[in-house]
């Protein structure tokens, strides 16, 4: 079952990102495009507290409350999530269309993140007031260094997202969930200072419209699998920083295999603990008859490590270190990126998926309002995640009968979850399976030198089952697969460690050393050598994927380093056409701001002229009139009052007339109203009164500053 959760802000909302900046002490969470969002992890935590509060109000015993919390949200500290609820980020309504139209018009200035952030948020300043008796504080006066600047989401904004269940809820459970949602009336930081009033609603969504048919054919020896991220996805990869979880930039075959196995178990109604007893499951996932390949972004591959660029001279071409002249003492470094090679050009830009870093904190006791100041178990960490809306494509191949059993169970399209924190905020993917036809027959390679490049880690186990990532071990495997006598002449290799997680045992395997993806080996092959796609051990899990390319020692490569389109020119002035009402309002606000900026520039330019006899006290007096003015009539009434015979404002009127800021009028319409003067023409033609008001406020503010700098204040 799935529901749509809607949250509407009724006051300023600060869903803190945990980070700030030079000018902002506490900031809200933003999508990469600049639109605010409510992270799923926050929704999960707030609903958990709300459910606990609802049950306490109903007088439920503590044991029942704890059981319900565990049933809905899982048990903290468990390696796997066993709760009934799955949470998604709350985004603006019609988010899919918004994201597409903004991406399609990303070079237009109105759709730049800074303007979008300013449109949806406001900046609030607060200070702490001193109390009597406190050392170093003065009662009623702001404490030293207590000024804080918060960026908050404006009231009246709506956010919505999916709330899914792993199995249908009973009527009692659904009632309890809806009560918890209705009870959720405050969110975010500084709820006791007027922030964070929200209104939440929960509605059941329509039936899933994804394709439910099995793949046509069913006897294919090869499947193309496309994994499209529906939310950020964290494919954990430790790279040194203990407080940061980085993500792998491709989806490994082992992860594809696990995702497919979970989907197979759910579809067939198997128990995860004894799924291996099912003969079909065993044949597809455990027998080794089916190989699950890596899924790469934009069909990219790992650039071979033997291809180097000159470190100090970027204009020199990329060369192979296998052919580098020993007399060349210049320092080179491996290109070592994901990309594609077309002809003699290496393309990197656009072939590495986009990622985002998010800040999180953890605490075992999540009771509402509880201070964590002295909680030693509180932790902070960062997640790097693959952005949503990115497609990764791979291949499943092997025995035609085993592949057919997989396709006879799984639908051609279904939703799944993978990676870290997949119960909340991360891990939602859309899986699409396409019949790839018969597996290609093996091709033969002509005699000559070839470079073998790893597209995934290569695991080599010796006769005792111990990992042995050495050139000697590689030559033994090559001799078995390609024929005896094959020697590795040169190698440009790196090492990594791979590990696996057994969901049944709830434990990770030991870290196994292996050759790293991108490692390349130069070897001489005899005539009619059969080409290989996989090599080594654990190939059914995506390890050991290799490619062979003829070695061309005299060929150099050009490295294409053109910037992404979004880093290019932002000079697009053509107003985009959008169908989303919210984006239409955003464009309207941008045009208004653009017009107001033009008005302000004209006012600043006009204020540079000399205006004799205009002192700052008079400037402040006139400026306050425009600050209070709500219409042109209000300004005209003030001018009439200046010229009354009993008015003390006559000197001011004379000074304004003498300076040229006010002009006497002879217009009959004005005289009938008793208006003897009006403000000078702005030079911008016909303007709405709001723009006229902005013009004169800016004019007088600039004139005041000019007087001060000239010593005429």
Digit-coded pLDDT (tens) for 113-145: 999 999 999 999 888 888 877 777 888 888 888
Measured CA to CA, the distance from residue 459 to residue 542 in angstroms comes to 10
DSSP readout, 278-332?
A: SHHHIIIIISS-EEE--BEETT-EEPPTTEEEESS-TTSPBEETTS--TT--S-E
Over residues 357-384, the mean pLDDT reads: 66
Tell me which residue of 66, 15, 9 sits closest to 42, measured CA to CA. Answer: 15
pLDDT per residue as tens digits for the range 411-455: 899 999 998 888 888 999 999 999 876 555 567 888 889 999 998
Q: Which tokens in the block code for residue 55?
A: 């049950």
Measured CA to CA, the distance from residue 487 to residue 472 in angstroms comes to 9
- Helices and strands in the chain, H and E counts: 15, 35
pLDDT for the residue numbered 384 = 92
Q: What's the maximum distance between 2 C-alpha atoms anywhere in the chain?
A: 115
pLDDT for the residue numbered 106 = 84
DSSP readout, 599-617?
A: HHHHHHHHTTS--TT--HH
Map residue 593 onto helix, strand or coil: helix
Q: Which tokens in the block code for residue 83?
A: 């709760």
Q: Which tokens in the block code for residue 369?
A: 């309002």
Total residue length of the chain: 713
pLDDT per residue as tens digits for the range 211-249: 556 565 445 578 999 999 999 999 988 776 678 889 999
How many other C-beta atoms lie within 10 A of the C-beta of residue 567? 9
Measured CA to CA, the distance from residue 10 to residue 303 in angstroms comes to 52
Measured CA to CA, the distance from residue 190 to residue 196 in angstroms comes to 7
What does the mean pLDDT of the chain come to? 85
pLDDT for the residue numbered 564 = 43
On whether the CB atoms of residues 352 and 336 are closer than 8 A, the answer is no
pLDDT for the residue numbered 375 = 54
pLDDT band at 251 (very low <50, low <70, confident <90, very high): very high
DSSP readout, 522-582?
A: EEEE-TTEEP-SB-SB-GGGTTTBEEEEE--TT--BEEE-PPPGGGS---B-SPPP---HH
Query: Which of these ranges, 72-81, 170-179, 543-552, 699-708, has the smallest mean pLDDT?
Result: 72-81
On whether the CB atoms of residues 330 and 348 are closer than 8 A, the answer is no
Q: Which residues contact 169 (CB under 8 A, 6 or more apart)?
A: 1, 84, 177
pLDDT for the residue numbered 244 = 87
pLDDT for the residue numbered 265 = 92
pLDDT band at 388 (very low <50, low <70, confident <90, very high): very high
Over residues 341-361, the mean pLDDT reads: 86
The winner for highest mean pLDDT among 151-155, 324-328, 330-334, 565-569 is 151-155
pTM score, whole prediction: 0.81
Percentage of the chain lying above the pLDDT 70 cut: 88
pLDDT band at 263 (very low <50, low <70, confident <90, very high): very high
Give the DSSP H or E segment for 265: helix 253-268
Q: Which tokens in the block code for residue 312?
A: 């100090």
């Amino acid at each position: 079952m799935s529901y749509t959760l809607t949250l509407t802000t009724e006051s300023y909302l600060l869903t803190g990102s945990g980070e700030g900046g030079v000018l902002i002490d506490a900031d809200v969470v933003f999508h990469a495009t600049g639109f605010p969002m409510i992270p799923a992890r926050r929704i999960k935590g707030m609903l958990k507290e709300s459910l606990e509060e609802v049950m306490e109000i109903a007088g439920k015993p503590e044991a029942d409350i704890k059981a319900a919390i565990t049933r809905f949200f899982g048990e903290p500290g468990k390696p796997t999530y066993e709760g009934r609820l799955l949470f998604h980020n709350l985004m603006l309504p019609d988010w899919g269309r918004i994201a597409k139209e903004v991406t399609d018009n990303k070079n237009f200035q109105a759709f730049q993140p800074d303007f979008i952030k300013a449109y949806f948020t406001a900046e609030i300043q607060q200070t702490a007031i001193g109390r009597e008796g406190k050392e170093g504080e003065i009662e009623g006066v702001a404490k030293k260094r207590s000024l804080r600047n918060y960026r908050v989401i404006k009231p009246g904004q709506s956010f919505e997202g999916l709330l899914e269940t792993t199995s249908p809820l009973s009527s009692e459970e659904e009632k309890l969930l809806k009560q918890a949602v209705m009870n959720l009336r405050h969110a975010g930081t500084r709820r006791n200072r007027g922030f964070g009033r929200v209104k939440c609603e929960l509605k059941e969504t329509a039936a899933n419209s994804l394709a439910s048919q099995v793949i046509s054919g069913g006897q294919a020896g090869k499947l193309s699998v496309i994994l499209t991220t529906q939310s950020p996805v964290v494919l954990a990869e430790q790279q040194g920083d203990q407080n940061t979880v980085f993500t792998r930039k491709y989806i490994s075959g082992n992860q594809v295999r696990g995702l497919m196995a979970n989907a197979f178990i759910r579809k067939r109604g198997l128990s995860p603990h004894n799924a291996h007893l099912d003969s079909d499951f065993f044949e597809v996932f455990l027998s080794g008859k089916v190989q699950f390949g890596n899924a790469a972004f934009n069909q990219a591959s790992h650039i071979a490590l033997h291809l180097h660029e000159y470190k100090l001279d970027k204009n020199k071409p990329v060369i192979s270190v296998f052919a580098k002249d020993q007399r060349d003492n210049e320092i080179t470094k491996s290109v070592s990126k994901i990309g594609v090679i077309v002809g003699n050009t290496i393309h990197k830009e656009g072939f590495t998926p986009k990622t985002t870093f998010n800040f999180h904190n953890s605490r075992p006791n999540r009771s509402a309002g509880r201070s964590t100041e002295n909680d030693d178990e509180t932790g902070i960490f960062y997640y790097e995640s693959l952005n949503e809306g990115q497609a990764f494509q791979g291949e499943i191949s092997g025995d035609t009968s085993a592949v057919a059993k997989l396709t006879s169970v799984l639908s051609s399209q279904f939703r799944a979850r993978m990676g870290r924190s997949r119960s909340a905020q991360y891990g939602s993917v859309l899986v699409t399976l396409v019949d790839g036809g018969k597996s290609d027959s093996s091709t033969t390679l002509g005699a000559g030198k070839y470079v073998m490049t790893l597209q995934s880690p290569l695991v080599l186990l010796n006769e005792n089952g111990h990992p042995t990532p050495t050139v000697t071990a590689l030559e033994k495997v090559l001799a078995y697969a390609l024929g005896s006598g094959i020697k590795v002449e040169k190698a440009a290799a790196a090492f990594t460690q791979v590990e696996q997680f057994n969901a049944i045992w709830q434990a990770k395997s030991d870290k196994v050393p292996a050759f790293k993806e991108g490692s390349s080996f130069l070897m001489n092959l005899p005539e009619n050598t059969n080409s290989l796609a996989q090599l080594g051990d654990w190939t059914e899990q995506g390890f050991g994927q290799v490619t062979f390319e003829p070695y061309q020692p005299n060929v150099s490569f050009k490295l294409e380093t053109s910037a992404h389109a979004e880093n290019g020119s932002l000079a697009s002035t053509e107003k985009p056409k959008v169908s989303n009402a919210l984006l239409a309002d955003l464009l309207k606000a941008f045009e208004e701001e653009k017009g107001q900026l033009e008005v302000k520039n004209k006012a600043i330019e006009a204020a540079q002229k000399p205006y004799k006899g205009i002192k700052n006290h008079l400037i402040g007096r006139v400026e306050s009139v425009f600050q209070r003015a709500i219409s042109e009539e209000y300004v005209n009434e003030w001018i009439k009052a200046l010229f009354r015979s009993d008015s003390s404002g006559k000197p001011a009127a004379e000074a304004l007339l003498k300076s040229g800021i006010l002009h006497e009028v002879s217009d009959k319409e004005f005289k009938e109203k008793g208006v003897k003067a009006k403000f000078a023409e702005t030079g911008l033609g016909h303007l709405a009164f709001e723009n006229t008001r902005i013009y004169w406020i800016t004019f007088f503010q600039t004139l005041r500053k000019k007087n001060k700098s000239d010593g005429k204040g």
